C-alpha cells in the first residue's frame, strides 16, 4: 500500500514538474524588463557589412542592412531606455574595422559574440536541437533572460531594383502579439506615412521552419517562451524604400518606430 502511494506521488510529481518549469520560464519572461537587439549579419574587414545591399548608389547612396543597423540601433535603444526598459545589443561578428561604425558600436555598447566563425552553423547551448548560422547571438540573448528579442534586418528579394512591398515581421509563435502590435504601429506611423508602400500594409508571418532564414533563432527563443521577431519590413532592393532610408532623418524615424512598437507591446503585457 505504501509502495503504491509512493509510485502515485512520484507519477504526479513527474507530470507536474515540466508544467511548473514552463510556468516559471513564462513568468520570468513576463517579469523581465530587458530587450535584446541583435544587429543582423556581421562586418567583414575590407568587405563591409555582409547583409543585403542596394544594387547601386543611384537611390541616395549605398545601403547595407548590417551597416544600417550599426548606425541606427542607438535610436531603438534610446526609445526603449526612455520608456524604462534595459537594452542589450549584440552582433554575431567582431567590432567593425570602419572607424565610424566602430565608434557607433562602442557608443551603444554592442556585445560582439564573435561566433567565432560568423558564417558557421552552431548548435544552440540552450536548446541543442536548434542549429543555425548566428544562433550564438540568440543564445547570448537567452542568457540575458529577456522579455523580447529583436533581430534587426532589412529585407531584399532581388539583386536588381524591384518594387517590393510585402514586408513583414517574421516572428515565433509566442511573438505573434508583439509582431502584431509592431505591425499595427508601423502601419499607423510609417507605411504610407513617409515610407512609400503603394497601399500594402506591413505583415506578420510566423516562421517555425528552422531551415528557413532565421527559423531556428526564433525557435530557440520560442523554446524558452521568449517573444522574438526578425524585422524584414523594408526592402533595400526597393528603390522607393532605399531612397527613404538613405535620408538619416527617415532612417532614425524608421528605427524609432521599431522601438516604439516594442514598447507598446511590453506595456500591453
- Closest Cα partner for 255 from 124, 127, 139, 154? 154
What is the Cα–Cα distance from 259 to 45, expressed in whole angstroms?
29
Is the distance from CB of 64 to CB of 51 less than 8 angstroms? yes
Site string for Zn ion, 53-82 (x = CB under 5 A): ------------x-----------------
Phi/psi region, residue 234 (left: phi>0; alpha: psi -120 to 50; beta: rest), is beta
**Least distance to Zn ion, CB of residue 170, Å:** 10
Is the distance from CB of 172 to CB of 110 less than 8 angstroms? no
**Least distance to Zn ion, CB of residue 232, Å:** 7
Element of type H or E holding 248: helix 248-268
The nearer residue to Zn ion, 51 or 167, going by C-beta atoms, is: 51
**Least distance to Zn ion, CB of residue 39, Å:** 10
Name the grid cell of 31: 517579469
Phi, psi for 56 (deg, rounded to 5): -160, -170
The nearer residue to Zn ion, 29 or 76, going by C-beta atoms, is: 76
Q: Is 215 in the site for Zn ion (CB under 5 A)?
A: no
What is the Cα–Cα distance from 23 to 30, expressed in whole angstroms?
10
The nearer residue to Zn ion, 32 or 112, going by C-beta atoms, is: 112
Q: Is 40 in the site for Zn ion (CB under 5 A)?
A: yes
**Least distance to Zn ion, CB of residue 133, Å:** 11
**Least distance to Zn ion, CB of residue 118, Å:** 13
Binding residues for Zn ion, total number by CB under 5 A = 4
Among 51, 134, 146, 215, binds Zn ion (CB under 5 A): 51
Q: Is 134 in the site for Zn ion (CB under 5 A)?
A: no
The nearer residue to Zn ion, 59 or 230, going by C-beta atoms, is: 230
**Least distance to Zn ion, CB of residue 206, Å:** 18
Q: Is 153 in the site for Zn ion (CB under 5 A)?
A: yes
What is the Cα–Cα distance from 48 to 178, expressed in whole angstroms?
32
The nearer residue to Zn ion, 112 or 153, going by C-beta atoms, is: 153
**Least distance to Zn ion, CB of residue 268, Å:** 27
Is the distance from CB of 191 to CB of 245 less than 8 angstroms? no
Interface residues for Zn ion in 77-116 (CB under 5 A)? Answer: none
Name the residue whose CB lies closest to Zn ion: 153
What is the Cα–Cα distance from 141 to 258, expressed in whole angstroms?
18
Give the interface segment with Zn ion, choosing from 4-12, 22-30, 44-52, 250-258 (CB under 5 A): 44-52
Query: Angle CA(205)–CA(210)–CA(214) in degrees, nearest 5?
Result: 60
Site string for Zn ion, 237-266 (x = CB under 5 A): ------------------------------
**Least distance to Zn ion, CB of residue 52, Å:** 6
Give the ranges where 144-238 is alpha helix by DSSP (H).
176-189, 215-223
- State whether the Cα torsion 24-30-31-35 is positive or negative: positive
Name the grid cell of 35: 530587450
Footprint of Zn ion (CB under 5 A): 40, 51, 65, 153
Amino acid at each position: 500500500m505504501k509502495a503504491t502511494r509512493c509510485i502515485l506521488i512520484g507519477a504526479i510529481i513527474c507530470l507536474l514538474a515540466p508544467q511548473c518549469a514552463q510556468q516559471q520560464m513564462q513568468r520570468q519572461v513576463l517579469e523581465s524588463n530587458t530587450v535584446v537587439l541583435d544587429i543582423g549579419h556581421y562586418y567583414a574587414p575590407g568587405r563591409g557589412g555582409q547583409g543585403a545591399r542596394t544594387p547601386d548608389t543611384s537611390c541616395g547612396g549605398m545601403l547595407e542592412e548590417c551597416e544600417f543597423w550599426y548606425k541606427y540601433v542607438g535610436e531603438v535603444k534610446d526609445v526603449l531606455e526612455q520608456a524604462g526598459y534595459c537594452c542589450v545589443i549584440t552582433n554575431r561578428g567582431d567590432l567593425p574595422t570602419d572607424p565610424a561604425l566602430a565608434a557607433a558600436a562602442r557608443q551603444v555598447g554592442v556585445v560582439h559574440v564573435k561566433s567565432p566563425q560568423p558564417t558557421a552553423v552552431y548548435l544552440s547551448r540552450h536548446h541543442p536541437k536548434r542549429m543555425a548560422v548566428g544562433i550564438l547571438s540568440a543564445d547570448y540573448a537567452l542568457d540575458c533572460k529577456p522579455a523580447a528579442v529583436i533581430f534587426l534586418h532589412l529585407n531584399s528579394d532581388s539583386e536588381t531594383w524591384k518594387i517590393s512591398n510585402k514586408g513583414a515581421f517574421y516572428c515565433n509563435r509566442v511573438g505573434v502579439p508583439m509582431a502584431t502590435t509592431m505591425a499595427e504601429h508601423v502601419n499607423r506611423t510609417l507605411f504610407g506615412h513617409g515610407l512609400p508602400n503603394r497601399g500594402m500594409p506591413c505583415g506578420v508571418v510566423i516562421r517555425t521552419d528552422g531551415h528557413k532564414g532565421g527559423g531556428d533563432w526564433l525557435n530557440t527563443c520560442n523554446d524558452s517562451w521568449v517573444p522574438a521577431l526578425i524585422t524584414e519590413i523594408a526592402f533595400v532592393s526597393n528603390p522607393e524604400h532605399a531612397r527613404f532610408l538613405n535620408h538619416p532623418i527617415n532612417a532614425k524615424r524608421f528605427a524609432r518606430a521599431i522601438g516604439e512598437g516594442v514598447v507598446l507591446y511590453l506595456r500591453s503585457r
